[in-house]
Structure 1
C-alpha cells in the first residue's frame, strides 16, 4: 500500500485564515481609533486606494440602483391599485349621481308640465318593461287602491306615452302609443289638420287619414285632439317627421328609451247635454233698424197697446 506524504494544506489554510482575521481586526481597530494621526492615515488610504476601486464598486452601485428602482416600482404599483379602487368607487358614485339627476329632472319636468287645471294626476314608477316583438307595454306600481281607471292617459315629464289597459289592485298596465293596437285621434298644428296616430312597433308611429296632407310639414306640433273621448285634448304627442319611405310619422316627445316615472291623468267623461237651450237662452225679440227718436213707439208695440 502506498504511503501518503505529509499534509501541508491544512496548516497553511489555518495560517492564512488567522492572518486574514488578524488583518481585518487590525483594520477595524485602526479605523476606530480616534486621533489626528489615525485620521490623516485613514484619509491618505482612502485617497490612495478607493478611487481605483470604482470598477469594483460599479456592480454594487448598479445593484443598489436596481433595488431602489424596484422599491419605487412596487410603491407605484400599490398606488396604482389604490387609485383603481378609488376610481371604481368614484365611478359608482358618479353613476348614482347621474341616475339621481335624471330622476330629479324627470320629476321636475312632471311638476312643470302645463295641463288643463281640471286634470289631476297620480304618479307611478315603471316596474318592468313587458314589451315584445308584438306588444309594447309597461307596468306601473299604481292600481285600483290608487283610484286608477282603465283607459286613462299616461305621460312622462313632457309627452303622451299611452293609456291604461288593465288595472290590478296594486299595479296597472300601460299600452304605449307605439303598440300596433294603439289608435288615437290627434291634431296637427298650426294647420289644424285632424289625423289618426297608429302604432306599428317602431319608435315613430305613423299618421293616417289626414284631412289635407299637403298642409302638413315636418316639424309641425302634434297633440291629442280629444275626439271620441279617448284622451283629453291638448296633450303633447310629438312632432311630424318625414320617414325614408315617404310616410308622415311622429317623433315622440316622451323619452320611450328611459321610462321610469309616468303620470296617470285622471280624466272624466264629459257631461252629456240633452237640451242646448239650458246653456244658450233664446234671443229677446226687439225692433231691428236705425235708432228711433225719443218717444217713438214701434208699430208692433202700438198694436199690442190697442189690443190691450
Structure 2
C-alpha cells in the first residue's frame, strides 16, 4: 500500500518539476533574446556577477586537456626513444663491422710485412671453413688449381708458418696444419742451430723430435723451417721453444690459429738437381798450343 502511495505522489511531482524546468528555460531564452536596454543591462550584470566565478568549473576541463597534451608528449618521446634505440643498434652493427674490417686489414698488413726470400712469391686466400676434428686438423682456402696452387706448398698467416697444402681442387685447396698428427716439418732451432723435426700431435703445441743435442736448446729459442728435404723454404718463422707439462720440448706457434681468416700460400719450386756427371771441360785451344810448344822446346 505504501509503495502505491509513493508511486501516486512521484508521478505528479515529476511532471511538475519538468514543467518548472521548461518554464525556467523558456523564460531564460526569452530574456536572452529580448532586445531591450533594460534586459541588456540585466544580462551584463548577470554575466559580470556569475561568469567569473565559473573558473572552478573549468578546472577539470583544464586538467583533462593538460593530461591529453602530456600523453601526446609522452607518445612523441617514446617514439623518439624507439627510433634512437634502432639507430643505436645500427651503430653497434656498423661498429662491429668496422672492428672486423680493421682486424682483417691488420692481418693483411701483417702478411705484407713478413720478410721472405725475394725469390718467393705468394697467393693470398680466404679461409672458407675449418674442417678440423679430434683426428685431423685442417682448413679450406678459396684458391685452387686455377690459381696455380700445388700440393706441398707452405702457408703462412701474418705471423708465422701455418701448414702445407694437402689436396688441391679447381677453386679450393686444403691446408693441413702444423698441429695435425700427420704433420712432420724439419726445423732449425736458433741460436744453437740444432736440427729437429716438428711433429704434430693434435694439440696446440707440437713436439720437437729427433733433436741432436737437447742440452743446447732453451725455452724461448726461436724455431724456423730448415728447408731440409725440400718440404718448406728455409727461414720461415715457426715459433718459440717451450717445455710442456710432460717435460718434453714443444713449440709455441707464432701463427694465430684461433683467427685464421687469411692465409698466404708461398710458391716454392724445388731446386734443380744434377743427375749425371757432365764431361770434363777442356782448356781453351790457346792453352793447348802453348803447352805443345813448350814440350817441343824441352
TM bin (shorter chain): 0.7 to 0.9
Point out the more displaced range, 182-191 or 214-223.
Answer: 214-223
Deviation at 1:127, TM superposition (A): 1.8
Structure with higher helix content: 2
How many residues of Structure 1 are paired with residues of Structure 2 in the alignment? 270
Match of 1:155 in 2: 156
Match of 1:244 in 2: 245
Residue ranges of structure 2 left out of the alignment (5+ in a row): 33-42, 280-293
Q: Distance in 2 between matches of 1:64 and 1:203?
A: 72
Cα distance, 1:24–1:257 mapped onto 2, change above 3 Å: farther
After superposition, where does 1:37-48 map in structure 2 within 5 Å?
A: none
Cα distance, 1:64–1:173 mapped onto 2, change above 3 Å: same
Q: Distance in 2 between matches of 1:149 and 1:46?
A: 101
TM-score of the two chains, using structure 1 as the length reference: 0.73
Q: Distance in 1 between matches of 2:185 and 2:45?
A: 109
Q: Distance in 2 between matches of 1:158 and 1:25?
A: 103
Deviation at 1:277, TM superposition (A): 11
Match of 1:10 in 2: 15
Residue by residue, what CA displacement relative to the aligned partner does 1:225-275 show, whole Å, maximum 9, x if unpaired?
111211110001112233333333222221211222211111111232569
Q: Distance in 1 between matches of 2:16 and 2:230?
A: 122
Point out the more displaced range, 239-248 or 57-66.
Answer: 57-66
Cα distance, 1:240–1:13 mapped onto 2, change above 3 Å: farther
TM-score of the two chains, using structure 2 as the length reference: 0.75
Q: Does 1:181 align with 2:186?
A: no
Q: Distance in 2 between matches of 1:216 and 1:25?
A: 121
Deviation at 1:42, TM superposition (A): 7.1
Match of 2:84 in 1: 83
Root-mean-square deviation (CA, aligned residues, Å) is 3.7
SS at match of 1:249: strand
Q: Distance in 1 between matches of 2:223 and 2:177?
A: 16
Q: Distance in 1 between matches of 2:232 and 2:72?
A: 73
Cα distance, 1:26–1:220 mapped onto 2, change above 3 Å: farther
Match of 2:215 in 1: 214
Residue by residue, what CA displacement relative to the aligned partner does 1:33-54 show, whole Å, maximum 9, x if unpaired?
xxxxx9999788688x478x4x
Deviation at 1:143, TM superposition (A): 1.8
Deviation at 1:163, TM superposition (A): 0.5
